[in-house]
Structure 1
């Protein structure tokens, strides 16, 4: 009987398209196929099959089945759920699920093998090479290392014909974790939490837990034991650990390898394309049992996912804000529910949404209230910059300078924390007051003195710092306003000329290997003062770091972001938590012009519960998350008149709905980006309202002009 195949394409299309199944193709749901779409041939995935008799129009046939592992049912369900939740078309999350297949497979490796010929002159070094080569094909460098000889010895034997070049297919197998390795000794609090997670896994089905532990309490060791329990319970089970940053990923890998004897499979932007394809195929085949990755790893084709861990679950980088917009923490919970898995959200400073779910009993709340071993939480002090300001043109106050001097005299390390990249955040002309901005964008250009360039951190635009003001032509009139990490490093070198100083930011550490090298150098005591952005503020363990100085504790409190207080508390608590993680006591000093602010007072008292209670009360009174729901609608276009007309039409088409308020349209704070004008609506809804249904109905009521682009952002984190 002929059948109709519904094929979802990884394109901005609202639904799957129907095609006729050719006789003998015997398709199944999840199969990869190629189909015609207009004049093109497109690859898609079969999402449905039904009886094809009685149709009123002929359908184009599926062209062929592609020989790639089919997408499991859980992945297809997750793709559809993610699209509905994000009020977007399903083709975008499908494209993310297929991302690994876009990369080429690994090419054969060049290796050397014995030819059977003997060297014209035998030496002890050549004898070693012959013995090592008996093990089979090896790369030239590996063979030299195995034999303990120089590369020149190996090359000479190739030139004589003793060794010949061959090509070896790369090993696509993944070593399996060794579950017999003994776990790290846990303290009673850690063991109790690990036991609860093991019991939840044994019970089976979807469950959620919040692993809430102070910095340095050993949360990683707890969820590693949960991973071991999940893997031991079923030889086919798989585990996914989500981490917010590549640098943090590298720091955690060694702990996985120590626990399981093998490195986990990595999935993030620094992984080479062939390795990403290999990882995708290994996950689909069930061979990759432990995956550590960034937020997009949620879309990998797991066959039997039994545990999902979101480490540093509060971190803002779990929010994807371009392309397909989603919050990975929320989607991780949904993926676990679809798969019938346990999801563990771990943080020293959990998001208010997760705390609210834990307080309501939706998540099992596991608390680690003390640091592991003999380490104690650092003392936190506030430096009132109004009473003890720095010298003119400087940014470090006398009390902080003295504290760093004391740490240096004791042979201890200091971290100077400023969450602002570059040398200075603003460059302006002293003659005319012109602020240097990125072309066609309202974003200020940030000076980077290392490279002598002005950089837009929003668009990536970069230019050499001009000698004269482009607006008025005045020479040598451009001056830098405010500090960035490069400027703080400059000041530290002036104050402490004998100290070993390094900078840790995304502008100075370009990849995972560089981040790992710098972290290892700091951990080995080869750096005295580390000047860093948030890249070093979380997850790292520096045994001899006893002082953290926050250069501008007020920075993230500025602006109208409803999460400003929460973000500031989280970021500064994480930064302060780098101090005193071993035997030596730690101290954190926060420079501020508003020491009376509630967030800073809560940090000083280390009273998170008081901060959370006050913040929750404010959110509840305003009907803001987690007590209400928010969505942003951002419209942009090159023609201000057409954009204004569309936004007015959209405002007039707002559906009538109880429990929903719509604010706007208004110019976005960044009203011009890459030559496109931007306007925003903000939607606030009660929790009982189907917000996604409201947004979908609203979007359908106003036709979008070709020149206008509209983005829906459910639960926005950025208000730019």
Structure 2
């Protein structure tokens, strides 16, 4: 690797929303290589940057500025820099914005603080002996320095005792290098005995790791088939050869059972990466990953951008999950970008799901991805029996939402001392509050959406911007008292209904409002495994990965949610959610049942869930998508124009429309008001571009945006392969 020394000109890319780096001069006291982390003067500020491998621009000598300092960390690997370039080009975002995701914790670049420990002085002075002091000296006689906290705990003394011994010269304070933050998982530890079906697939995945070349594999398996145990074998093989492994989970905060399974398998916990970690925890993890100390990393989508030194395999668990798509800031799909990262790094990637996305199935059928299927549940457990309830034929009391067949099934389950789950993908108590007198609907003042009542909190909340307000006694429009009424059910309302019918049943509401971190998720698992909870009532959070042997009944309160609207993936996503949540029932020796309530029993999604014919559903869905030229058979790109100034948005849209590409191979829909025409106080308009797979839409959009006249106070976001059409 070439070194840059005194007076060399280099390009430095700062982690800011810039599309290019800037030219700087290397001072006499530094020797740099591409990838080094440095500080640079930028305007009146001093900012971070990375020495980039692009040719420096010519700068007039009087304007040339010097790099300030170099951080004592490993350079950003070449594969990471190439990945940043690719993500930037494909998703049409500045390179600096992508780099910011790599350096998301600037404190990680600073050296870790030394560990302060205490030891007995080599030359003991004359001092007064007391019982507490004697206990302190007793535990330090083994010549193993200890931290203040450990001495106080082991000796049962207070801080003043240690302070007195220091002052007397009996103890000395030392600074040690902190011990490794993460243990090495034991790849030699014996794992569970795999079935013949599991072992065959695991062997192939391990061979891919050994070959150390790119391979994308879809690992499909029915719920409870042991997909995790299979892909853990590929991680084990990567560890054997000294490589790192990355596992992306859609809900890292809800991964308590997964983490326990990993620790049981390898004897220690993996390194974690998610937003609930403190700055210190993330800094520690970042440094350990960059140095190669952390061997297995489990995280949310942003973990994909960490500076791995020797990555050997990537696992995307629940690869179909839409939460892998980031909708804010740098808009990207972590699943798709992970495939690119694996390709650049020449390593295998495993896409794991009980319901693989149509995009992944499309790549399987084109021969681009391998495909393995686990067709049987582990240990002989059977798939649950599914019953579809046509709610048009059921007599349900006004204000209630559970049908007699579902209530009967719940009653039988509780009598057998088994557990049940009710699924409704709607947070809060009710999705809409309106006035019975004048019909006024309570709406968010910052978004064009209704406020959701959260009765447990006594507040109305917007689920898009976070705005909340107390529930008023009077209608804000007509002033009528006690005229506001809740319309429709949320999970809190279902919990209220259940409590009235089954007062002795212990239930728990599970949403992102009630379980929002790993600790709470772990407590939930403990309570369920101890059978302290009889009934879970929750949103899609309860559909992913949980394994409770005594949970034998799943009730889907409203299977039709999500089927309406113009989202091209609405049917696929609803099928995936219903199939996944159904898979929570009967995962052990006790057989499972699923009750699906619907007003549309003839809808293809409900039919597929009822008869268990996934292949027929996928074929019909693929046929419709291909006929319409929709992904994965065609391309879509969303253009979102927004500003707090509505007139500025209109001017920008008119200019964009005037310069829009005129091409027979590209169809432009819009401009039109976005379904959420106001979001977080910003007025929004949308374009949607549609084309065949062979078109380079990014190149045409770049030119389009470069010639259109967009006011400075207007933001234009490009969404490649959009998932949300709001």
Does the 8 Å contact 1:249/1:292 carry over to 2?
Answer: no
| CA gap 1:279/1:435 in 2 versus in 1, 3 angstroms | same
**496-505 vs 39-48, greater mean Cα deviation:** 39-48
Specify which of 61, 64, 67 is matched with residue 69 of structure 2.
64
Give SS of 1:175's match. coil
Work out the CA distance in 2 between the residues paired with 1:379 and 1:534: 20
Residue 702 (structure 2) aligns with: 696
| CA gap 1:90/1:394 in 2 versus in 1, 3 angstroms | same
Residue 205 (structure 1) aligns with: 213
Residue 407 (structure 1) aligns with: 413
Query: What does residue range 550-629 of structure 1 map to in structure 2 within 5 Å?
Result: 550-629=556-635
Specify which of 17, 25, 28 is matched with residue 22 of structure 2.
17
Specify which of 214, 233, 241 is matched with residue 222 of structure 2.
214
User: Structure 1 residue 78 and structure 2 residue 83: aligned?
Assistant: yes
**652-661 vs 183-192, greater mean Cα deviation:** 652-661
Residue 290 (structure 2) aligns with: 284
Does the 8 Å contact 1:423/1:487 carry over to 2?
Answer: yes
**570-579 vs 47-56, greater mean Cα deviation:** 47-56
**373-382 vs 34-43, greater mean Cα deviation:** 34-43
Give SS of 2:631's match. coil
Specify which of 705, 712, 716 is matched with residue 718 of structure 2.
712
Work out the CA distance in 2 between the residues paired with 1:64 and 1:105: 14
Work out the CA distance in 1 between the residues paired with 2:321 and 2:641: 27
Shift of the alpha carbon at 1:696?
Answer: 1.6
Query: What does residue range 196-595 of structure 1 map to in structure 2 within 5 Å?
Result: 196-232=204-240, 234-235=241-242, 237-595=243-601
Shift of the alpha carbon at 1:101?
Answer: 2.5
Does the 8 Å contact 1:106/1:275 carry over to 2?
Answer: no
Does the 8 Å contact 1:129/1:154 carry over to 2?
Answer: no
Residue 47 (structure 1) aligns with: 52
Residue 3 (structure 2) aligns with: none
Query: For each residue in 1:257-284, what CA deviation from the matched residue of structure 2 results, as whole angstroms up to 9, or x when unmatched?
Result: 1121111000001111111011111111
Work out the CA distance in 1 between the residues paired with 2:174 and 2:519: 28
**240-249 vs 589-598, greater mean Cα deviation:** 240-249
Shift of the alpha carbon at 1:551?
Answer: 0.7
Does the 8 Å contact 2:181/2:284 carry over to 1?
Answer: no
Query: For each residue in 1:152-175, what CA deviation from the matched residue of structure 2 results, as whole angstroms up to 9, or x when unmatched?
Result: x66796698699897876434421
**570-579 vs 169-178, greater mean Cα deviation:** 169-178
| CA gap 1:273/1:122 in 2 versus in 1, 3 angstroms | closer
Shift of the alpha carbon at 1:87?
Answer: 0.8
Work out the CA distance in 2 between the residues paired with 1:256 and 1:143: 32
Query: What does residue range 159-198 of structure 1 map to in structure 2 within 5 Å?
Result: 170-198=178-206
Shift of the alpha carbon at 1:57?
Answer: 8.1
**599-608 vs 384-393, greater mean Cα deviation:** 384-393
Does the 8 Å contact 1:467/1:475 carry over to 2?
Answer: yes
Work out the CA distance in 1 between the residues paired with 2:562 and 2:306: 34
Work out the CA distance in 2 between the residues paired with 1:697 and 1:243: 37
Root-mean-square deviation over aligned CA pairs: 2.6
Query: What does residue range 54-133 of structure 1 map to in structure 2 within 5 Å?
Result: 59-102=64-107, 120=130, 130-131=138-139
| CA gap 1:167/1:475 in 2 versus in 1, 3 angstroms | farther
Shift of the alpha carbon at 1:437?
Answer: 1.3
| CA gap 1:53/1:533 in 2 versus in 1, 3 angstroms | closer
Give SS of 2:609's match. helix
Specify which of 665, 671, 677 is matched with residue 665 of structure 1.
671
Work out the CA distance in 2 between the residues paired with 1:63 and 1:138: 38
Query: For each residue in 1:292-334, what CA deviation from the matched residue of structure 2 results, as whole angstroms up to 9, or x when unmatched?
Result: 0000000000011110000000011101000111000000001
Work out the CA distance in 2 between the residues paired with 1:324 and 1:345: 23
| CA gap 1:478/1:113 in 2 versus in 1, 3 angstroms | farther
| CA gap 1:708/1:122 in 2 versus in 1, 3 angstroms | closer
| CA gap 1:51/1:9 in 2 versus in 1, 3 angstroms | closer
Work out the CA distance in 2 between the residues paired with 1:710 and 1:53: 31
Shift of the alpha carbon at 1:141?
Answer: 7.2
Specify which of 638, 642, 665 is matched with residue 632 of structure 1.
638
Work out the CA distance in 2 between the residues paired with 1:133 and 1:293: 42
Does the 8 Å contact 1:421/1:505 carry over to 2?
Answer: yes
Does the 8 Å contact 2:139/2:154 carry over to 1?
Answer: no
Give SS of 1:513's match. helix
| CA gap 1:382/1:144 in 2 versus in 1, 3 angstroms | farther
Give SS of 1:386's match. helix
Query: For each residue in 1:120-159, what CA deviation from the matched residue of structure 2 results, as whole angstroms up to 9, or x when unmatched?
Result: 4589xx9799559958555677668768xxx6x6679669
The TM-score normalised by the length of structure 2 is 0.93
| CA gap 1:51/1:98 in 2 versus in 1, 3 angstroms | closer
Work out the CA distance in 2 between the residues paired with 1:53 and 1:161: 63
Work out the CA distance in 2 between the residues paired with 1:626 and 1:706: 35
| CA gap 1:49/1:436 in 2 versus in 1, 3 angstroms | closer
Query: For each residue in 1:671-719, what CA deviation from the matched residue of structure 2 results, as whole angstroms up to 9, or x when unmatched?
Result: 0122221000011110011122222222112132111111000111111
- Number of aligned positions between the proteins: 712
Unaligned runs of 5+ in 2: 1-5
| CA gap 1:703/1:62 in 2 versus in 1, 3 angstroms | farther
The TM-score normalised by the length of structure 1 is 0.94
Give SS of 2:443's match. coil
Query: For each residue in 1:100-121, what CA deviation from the matched residue of structure 2 results, as whole angstroms up to 9, or x when unmatched?
Result: 3346776667878779989745
Work out the CA distance in 2 between the residues paired with 1:503 and 1:108: 44
Does the 8 Å contact 1:105/1:278 carry over to 2?
Answer: no
Does the 8 Å contact 2:253/2:516 carry over to 1?
Answer: no
Does the 8 Å contact 2:120/2:172 carry over to 1?
Answer: no
Work out the CA distance in 2 between the residues paired with 1:623 and 1:307: 33
Work out the CA distance in 2 between the residues paired with 1:448 and 1:622: 40
| CA gap 1:54/1:450 in 2 versus in 1, 3 angstroms | closer
Does the 8 Å contact 1:172/1:278 carry over to 2?
Answer: no
Give SS of 2:674's match. strand
Give SS of 1:5's match. strand
Does the 8 Å contact 2:511/2:541 carry over to 1?
Answer: yes
| CA gap 1:611/1:462 in 2 versus in 1, 3 angstroms | same
